[in-house]
A and B are shown apart, each in its own frame.
Chain A
């Protein structure tokens, strides 16, 4: 099965110290929030980046989703702060 590619942006990327990482795909019913719980144990940077869930937004295969969304068959997950373009 294809790996899950996880992308980080803005201060999430800076805290973790990674632009992206690949992991073995979780079970389809695992939510984004549950995966963040798991990833938070990987490093102090991950823990710091994921500490304030209210300040995090997610996209699955480049579509915004709430953090309680199951990852399903998605191949790309992005975690970032609320957007500030324009």
Chain B
């Protein structure tokens, strides 16, 4: 069966329950998911997410295709928002469906680690006092993504 692969790059919010129910409707038996939110790190008002239109969709589709090659999956949903998102807002959703719990869990973790380092989004912090700065990339994120490379 060809897996159901969905990638959405959008300014719109999404409803994790709706996305999960679509993955649960597949005949898999195992659904894993991750939802990323704007974290309140003290004084943060919002994050502004800038993207590289066109390349974003392409990169997310490439990572999704890699996961579909590597694990026996029935479905993958990846949603990534851009624009200005207040504290508590949803930023990203990754959901996977499989007949096997390990495949669902591992592919979900792989997808979130890889989209973090390969999807062209940049976050700018917006603070209540009017200051703000671009969020720096973490070396730890590169290491996490690299750790998925097969030996």
Contacts from A to B (Cβ < 8 Å): 7, 9-11, 59, 62, 64, 78, 80-86
18 CB contacts below 8 A, A to B, read A9-B120, A11-B134, A59-B52, A62-B55, A80-B122, A82-B137, A83-B118, A83-B120, A83-B122, A84-B116, A84-B134, A84-B137, A85-B119, A85-B120, A85-B121, A85-B122, A86-B80, A86-B141
Among A7, A9, A82, A84, residue most surrounded by chain B Cβ atoms (within 10 Å)? A84
Known: A9-B50, A10-B134. A86 touches B122 (CB 8 A): no
Q: Is B124 touching A10 in the complex (CB atoms < 8 A)?
A: yes
Q: Is A84 touching B135 in the complex (CB atoms < 8 A)?
A: yes
- In angstroms, Cα B135 to Cα A6, docked, is 23
- In angstroms, Cα B52 to Cα A59, docked, is 10
Measured between beta carbons, the chain A residues less than 8 angstroms from B36 are 86
- Kindly supply a per-residue 1/0 record for chain B positions 24-36, scoring 1 wherever the CB is within 8 Å of any chain A CB and 0 otherwise: 0000000000001
Tell me the residues in window 109-137 of chain B with beta carbons closer than 8 Å to chain A beta carbons: 112, 115-124, 134-137
4 extra A-B contacts, CB within 8 A, seeds A83-B117, A83-B118? A82-B136, A85-B115, A86-B80, A86-B121
